[in-house]
Amino acid sequence: MMKREDNELLVRVGPGTAMGNLFRRFWLPVMLASELSEPDGEPVRLRILGEEFVAFRDTDGRIGILDAYCTHRRAHLIWGRNENYGLRCAYHGWKFDVDGNCVDLPNAPDGDRIKGNMKTRAYPVLQRGGLIWGYFGPAELQPEPPAAELFEVGDSHRHISKIVVEGNYLQFAEGDIDSSHVSFLHSSLDKSALPGSRVSAFAFQDTSPRWTVKPTDYGLMLAAQRDGGPEHYHWRVNQWLFPFATMVASPEDAPFITNVRVPIDDEHTMQFRIWTQIDRPLTAVDRDNAAAGVIFPEMIPGTFTPVANRSNNYLIDREEQRKRTFTGIKAIPIQDLAVTQEQGPGWIADRSLEKLTSSDTAIVAMRKRLLDAAKALQQGIEPPEAGTPRAYRVRPIDTLLPRNAVVEEAMRPLTVRHVA
Ligand code: FES
Ligand SMILES: [Fe+2]
């Protein structure tokens, strides 16, 4: 059972919190690259870890992430004009470039003389893997860019969606690494995979996996063992990338899912759901699967809100639930959302009330890793994972191995790639 104060420490991410400080030691994806596609296009409002920012792409295509509130009298820069190499505040016309310099101060007679002192805070930015990333921590600790393979392949290798929901980030992250729910939440009543989904049949035949959870330089290797016929075990090896992403294995050379969970604040989370094929572009069949509404939910046009959401009971179909599928909810991420969004009042689970079993081994390991890192940082010990981006060059895998295989040896060449 988790102590209530540890739960609090894990779920709070605002400025000055232990977990908030930990997240601020890493590059965080904050938006889709497509949200800022045009030079001098519309600025975008960002809320990350309980703080407000504004993002824009300037005339040369450079991206800026600035504090949201103007240095002059704190107007929100989202209402500003993005023009000619800078974002101009709508209130009195002060203008800031992507580095936060005040480059024009037109409402005061001595504006040209004093504008050099009016800099606003700008944050390091990079674009990688179809995403725009920001770094919000101390400048002297800025890490190397993320190096996981999925962020290096071209757009043709990837389908990506962004979903914004109520709910604390940790609940969703726990769902991502919880292999045992797959046999239930995502199943059909005839013990088969849902049409259009990509989950191995073994996950529905053996519903009580045995865990091998291995701490690694990048986070955790999470191997769930199930019966795979008389000679074999089925292994589903997912990878949890500290502190916010999970790679989920797919069978038969299908693209794999990566769920990245970025806290907007304590009660809201941004999910980037990325379907990646590292070694080849996605096929037309892959694209059709992505569009079918099962692996990726249908979204309300022009928003990051799924059509099926809590306000309409996730469009649960009770007849479908009685006759065909375990939940009666269509899309896999919405099935996840229904059970993880509301694990407690106010969108935050109270883990001191849980009853855990051995099926929760991976979740316990993840919580411990986060908690230990947050407490270490409180003592001044920086998270080593921020300094080893190339350790993140790993893959998830869904495979059969002979029953007598030594798992960690067999896994390593399948899951670890090009680690320098
Ligand atoms: S508040 Fe922005 S220019 Fe005055
Ligand atoms: Fe799930």
Indicate whether 121 and 251 sit together in one domain.
no
| Mean pLDDT in residue range 231-242 | 93
| Token duo for residue 217 | 């330089």
Q: What is the average pLDDT score of the chain?
A: 93
User: Which residue would you say has higher pLDDT here, 64 or 187?
Assistant: 64
In tens, the pLDDT along 23-68 reads 999 999 999 999 998 999 999 999 999 999 999 999 999 999 999 9
Structural domains of the chain, count: 2
Same-domain check for residues 162 and 118:
no
The pLDDT of residue 197 is above 80: no
Model confidence over 206-222: pLDDT tens digits?
Answer: 888 888 899 999 999 99
Give the DSSP letter of residue 399: E
The pLDDT value given to residue 420: 47
Q: What DSSP character marks residue 114?
A: H
Domain match, 162 and 210 both: yes
CATH of the domain at 220: 3.90.380.10
Q: Confirm whether 106 is domain-assigned.
A: yes
Residue minimizing CA distance to atom 1 of ligand 1: 73
- What distance in angstroms lies between residue 26's CA and the mean position of ligand 2's atoms? 25
Which residues span the domain enclosing 238? Answer: 149-417
Atom of ligand 1 nearest to the CA of 74: 1
Q: What is the CATH number of the domain that holds 128?
A: 2.102.10.10
CA–centroid distance, residue 213 to ligand 2 (Å): 18
| Residue 92 CB–ligand 1 contact under 6 Å | yes
270 ligand 1 Cβ < 6 A: no
Mutate to test the pocket of ligand 1, among 67, 69, 89, 120 (most ligand atoms within 8 A of CB): 89
Q: Minimum-distance ligand to the CA of 199?
A: 2
Residue 91 CB–ligand 1 contact under 6 Å? yes
Q: Which of 55-64, 101-110, 205-214, 327-336 has the lowest mean pLDDT?
A: 205-214
Which residue puts its alpha carbon closest to atom 3 of ligand 1?
Answer: 92
Domain annotation covers residue 330: yes
Residue 89 near ligand 1, beta carbon < 6 Å: yes
Q: Tell whether 164 and 260 lie within a shared domain.
A: yes
b/e 44-58 (16+ beta carbons within 10 angstroms → b) = bebbbbbbebbbbbb
Do residue 123 and residue 189 come from a single domain?
Answer: no
> Residue 1 CB: number of other CB atoms within 10 A?
9
Model pTM? 0.95
> Is the CB of 299 inside a 6 Å radius of any atom of ligand 1?
no
One domain for residues 207 and 312: yes
Q: How far apart are CA 111 and CA 108, in angstroms?
A: 5
Burial of 355 per CB tally in 10 Å (0-12, 13-18, 19+): exposed
